[in-house]
Amino acid sequence: MAAVSLHASAAVAPVASLSTVQSSRAIASSHQIARAGLRVPSLRSASVRPLRAARITCEAAGTKAAAGEVTDATFKKLVLESPTPVLVDFWAPWCGPCRMIAPLIDELAVQYAGKMACYKLNTDDSPGVPTEYGIRSIPTVLVFKGGKKVDAVIGAVPKATLVTTIDKYL
């Protein structure tokens, strides 16, 4: 029985931390412990590999929707025919400053829900509307009211600048 207690700690050590000799002793020891009627944790359970499922969380539960997507095909209906003012963020996936203000646009969509619609238009996928409105630099945020462009903010600006612009048209 002394041999069982001598190697019991080795049987539960992570496999990655054991040498080949220690691993074979740990496995032999675990068989001796099992024969003695004791329960031994599996060496597989001592794996150092992280569980992926443990890192996945759902943050969407209970949150409001962020800014919607608009395209050349949906622009007229969603933006120009909207009964409320509309903010449109013209962006591209390769644009660093566009990625910087994207969370701000999503925050504004939640903050002004019901008062103003907020959309994002990918200029790579929908080049027609940016051409029509003379968008030559991104990010560009346009504000529409009554189907007409009433204001523009060009570049990555602080949230306060966007809030000031929006508040003029509510």
Question: Does 118 qualify as catalytic in the annotation?
Answer: no
Distances (CA, A) of 37 to 32, 40, 150: 9, 9, 80
Q: Which residues contact 40 (CB under 8 A, 6 or more apart)?
A: 11, 12, 30, 33, 34
Q: Do residues 124 and 95 touch, judged by C-beta distance below 8 A?
A: no
| Number of alpha carbons in the 13 Å side-chain half-sphere of residue 53 | 0
Catalytically annotated residue among 67, 79, 86, 95: 95
Question: Does 95 qualify as catalytic in the annotation?
Answer: yes
| Closest alpha carbon to 102 in 112, 90, 113, 114 | 90
Q: Which residues contact 144 (CB under 8 A, 6 or more apart)?
A: 79, 80, 82, 85, 86, 87, 88, 150
The helix (run of H) or strand (run of E) holding residue 117 is strand 117-122
Catalytically annotated residue among 78, 98, 105, 121: 98
Q: Which residues are catalytic?
A: 95, 98
